[in-house]
Amino acid sequence: MKKIIYTIVAAALLIAAGCTDQKEEKMKDVSPITANTVEEVISELQNEYGDQHLFRIEKGVKQTAELWREKDGDASVFKDFCMNQFVADQTELDTLFFRLSRNFETINGSLLKINKDLKRQLHLDMGDIQSIDLMFGSYNPYAHLTEDFFSNKIAFVVTLNFPYYSLEKKSEKADQWSRKQWAFARMGDLYTARPPARLLQKASTATTASDTYISEYNIYMGYLRDQEGNTFFPEELKLITHWGLRDELKSNYAEENGLERQKMIYQVMKRIIDQSIPQKVINSGEYYWDPYSNRVYDKSGEGMAYESEPDTRYEFLLDNFKAEKSLDPFYPHHKNFIQRKFEGNYEIPQQEVEKLFREFVSSPTVKKVGALISQRLGRDLEPFDIWYDGFKARSVISEDRLDRMVREKYPTLEAFQNDLSHLLVNLGWDKAKAREIAHRIQVDPARGAGHAWGAESREFMAHLRTRMGEDGMDYKGYNIAMHEFGHTVEQTVTLHDVDYYMLRGVPNTSFTEALAFIFQKRDLAMLGLTKTSSEKEAMMALDNFWSSYEIMGVSLVDMEVWKWMYEHPDASPAALKEAVIRISKDVWNDYYAPVFGSKDEPILAIYSHMIDNPLYLSAYPMGHLIDFQLEKEIAGKNFADEVMRIFTRGRLIPQYWMKKAVGNKISGQPLIEATDEALKVVK
């Protein structure tokens, strides 16, 4: 952990240093262009090009003036720029749009490749991480891009000619716009703020440091002991927090001694949350640890003194907050990171998302499903049963059997790589298209739990990362790989098959999560273990419902923690830890205690993305709801055809995309209604 601590200190020093001159930087972040100059330029352009261009002229001149700085030139330079660079003729404007799109694809793709390559040692299972790897991995090749393009005035060409539309305006115009007009609007989204490169780099340093911390946070399960000295896990089993711990807990519903294992894992999680976990046992197989009594032993059985992890988890969370908060003054349309993430990134207001989640987890259906789970388990619910996995077909198949099947099929990553096109054919793609998609996806060995990373240029490949053991891929790795396969298929299709580069991708990360969930649910079918029971549809609804219920609580905690940090910007890591634990218990008591029967449980605070991916967690529950609505839409149809039809719409705003895809907005009600019907079927 020494190298990781180096990163913590480096990130903290960088962020602290940035606070000293932020006020001075903000003073410079004021436009010198007066309202009179703006009106004068608008009037001259209107006289030259006519009233039919007045809307674009007004929008373009005003948004360019808002972002103009003293170093860009005085009022006369501003005026000359606008008069010379405004494009009125539609043919010329189209040419400008396509030239910009082509060049942005070159730049975006190349910089993303640099970013990926510099993080290879951090993200892939390639041996020890050295301090130089952390330095390169923290480097953000994008940091200076925005400022460079304002300096050379390319950004101003965009702001002058392509109006920015607020989320409200996009919603009003959605049905009126053609595909090209949507693409023009996305061009207008590119330069709405002018954050300093120095602060962007510091934000990148903070997220890279926290990501590396999480990627190296493993628990050696074979070295866990209960108070009687019993161990329940193979000596070689090493699990990353929280994903590996959670997935191991899920897998034990069908195992002998499963309940004892689950209780031990839950105890480990609580030690991580409250930071009472001994520093010696993190990413180490040198000591035995009893997570119940929190005692540490050496190999001879002698008790040892130790220090607990010193609130490191919350130091990283706080560093990410400080880095993002330092950028707040430079975003005129979104006053803080919460708004930037939800209204700017997700394009759904935070209040709307929170309302959607709170209504869902308050549904009376939750208690009914909880009672069914308790009945199926033959015991009262435990807090960790938020991860109950018994509605999946694999829940009745032992983990050992699944591991054997997967290892036999995929003894190496190359074997999985070579099978991608075959998997796509099994899912409904024709052979030619399956090969085309598969050849644009590279499979890599993940250091962490696994992730997918698409390309920003059609010249490069998407990357699918999953964990690979020395003796082959196990079921957990395969299950993750199928999830990441869904991501990379989406990333490939929405880059190569969408008509305009500026519309590449999906509305937000919830939509790529939805397709990843859809692929992941088909993992057993790809192994030839298709469940043919008449209960299948009902079981899928119940599984999605319970997964949504669990992750919505996690997301509510995440949102409340960020609100708290904004209310307490000078909090210490220790104070933040106390707040996170209190918030997680409050959310539990409001929405989970009535179902589980136990109060003050902190488990909703265990998710690693809370630490290494700021405010990402809302993407998962939205993804579950979208997943369910999409599954209903494609049921009985050719899977591949529907995926291509739906996802080639590209990056429209979320609710409009959903209306075009399934006829309705994102909603929890269809899932609740389907779950109520499922409860009549499943016993």
Query: DSSP states of 451-514 as a string?
Result: EEE--SSTTS-EEEEE--BTTB--HHHHHHHHHHHHHHHHHHHHHHSSSSGGG-S-SSHHHHHH
How far, in Å, CA of 454 to CA of 647, rounded? 15
Contact yes or no for 118/139 (Cβ under 8 A): yes
Q: What are residue 50's phi and psi, to 5 degrees?
A: 95, 165
Q: Which strand (E) or helix (H) includes residue 444?
A: strand 441-445
Residues of the chain with pLDDT under 50: 1-20, 24, 27
Q: 312: exposed, middle or buried (C-beta count within 10 Å: 0-12, 13-18, 19+)?
A: buried
Sign of CA dihedral 603, 605, 609, 615: positive
Residue bearing tokens 């962007």: 200
563 SS3 class? helix
Between CA 536 and CA 682 the distance in angstroms is 9
| CA separation, residue 40 to residues 33, 43, 234 (Å) | 11, 5, 76
* E strand map for 126-208: none
Question: Does the pTM exceed 0.95?
Answer: no
CB 262 within 8 A of CB 297: no
> Using CA atoms, how far apart are residues 77 and 83, in angstroms rounded to an integer?
10
The H or E element containing residue 442 is strand 441-445
d(CA 192, CA 176): 23
Spell out the residues 6+ positions from residue 126 whose beta carbon is closer than 8 angstroms to its own. Answer: 120, 445, 447
Instruction: State the DSSP string of 310-321.
Output: -SHHHHHHHHHH
Report whether 523 contacts 410 (CB < 8 A).
no
Query: Angle CA(640)–CA(501)–CA(454) in degrees, nearest 5?
Result: 60
> Residue 12's pLDDT is what?
45
| Block residue for tokens 């074997």 | 415
Q: What is the pLDDT of residue 142?
A: 85
In contact, 534 and 646? CB cutoff 8 Å: no
Three-state DSSP at 664 gives: coil
Q: How much is the CA Rg of the chain, to the nearest whole Å?
A: 26
Q: Are strands 441-445 and 462-466 parallel, antiparallel or unpaired?
A: parallel
Q: How many helices (H) and strands (E) does the chain have?
A: 33, 8
Q: Supply the pLDDT for residue 300.
A: 86
Residues in the chain, overall count: 683
CA distance 128 to 479: 26
Residue 139 belongs to what H/E stretch? Answer: none
The helix (run of H) or strand (run of E) holding residue 69 is: none
Residue type, 368: K
Query: In whole angstroms, what is the distance from residue 340 CA to residue 514 CA?
Result: 22
Determine the Cα–Cα distance for residues 484 and 247; give it in Å rounded to an integer. 15
The amino acid sitting at 293 is S
Distance CA 316, CA 15 (A): 11
Nearest Cα to Cα of residue 447 among 202, 141, 243, 234:
243
Structure tokens at 221: 């399960």
Query: Distance (Å, rounded) from C-alpha 475 to C-alpha 491?
Result: 24
Q: How far apart are CA 42 and CA 48, in angstroms?
A: 10
For residue 62, the tally of other CB atoms under 10 A from its CB is 18
Query: Is residue 304 classed as helix, strand or coil in its secondary structure?
Result: strand
pLDDT at 5: 41
What DSSP string runs through 606-662? --THHHHSTT-TTHHHHHHHHHHHHHHHHTTS-HHHHHHHHHTT-S--HHHHHHHHH
b or e along 194-206 (b: 16 or more beta carbons within 10 Å of the residue's beta carbon)?
A: bbbebbbbbbbbb
Q: Say how far apart CA 465 and CA 442 lie, in whole Å.
A: 8
As a whole number of Å, the end-to-end CA separation of the chain is 48
**Amino acid identity at 620:** Y
- Residue 23 and residue 497: Cα distance in Å, rounded? 46
Using CA atoms, how far apart are residues 615 and 235, in angstroms rounded to an integer? Answer: 35
Q: Is the peptide bond before 624 cis (omega within 30 degrees of 0)?
A: no
Question: Is 185 within 8 Å of 347 (Cβ atoms)?
Answer: no
Identify the pLDDT of residue 127. 85
Helices (H), 68-89: 75-85
The H or E element that residue 150 is part of is helix 145-151
Rounded CA-CA distance 420/141 in Å is: 31
Contact 652, 507 (CB under 8 A): yes
**pLDDT tens per residue, range 58-86:** 999 999 999 999 999 999 999 999 999 99
Q: What is the pLDDT of residue 156?
A: 98
Q: Contact, 122 vs 447, CB < 8 A?
A: yes
pLDDT (tens digit per residue) in 192-249: 999 998 999 999 999 999 999 998 899 999 999 998 889 999 988 999 999 999 999 9
Both tokens assigned to 189:
């989204």
* Cα gap 674→681, rounded to integer Å: 11
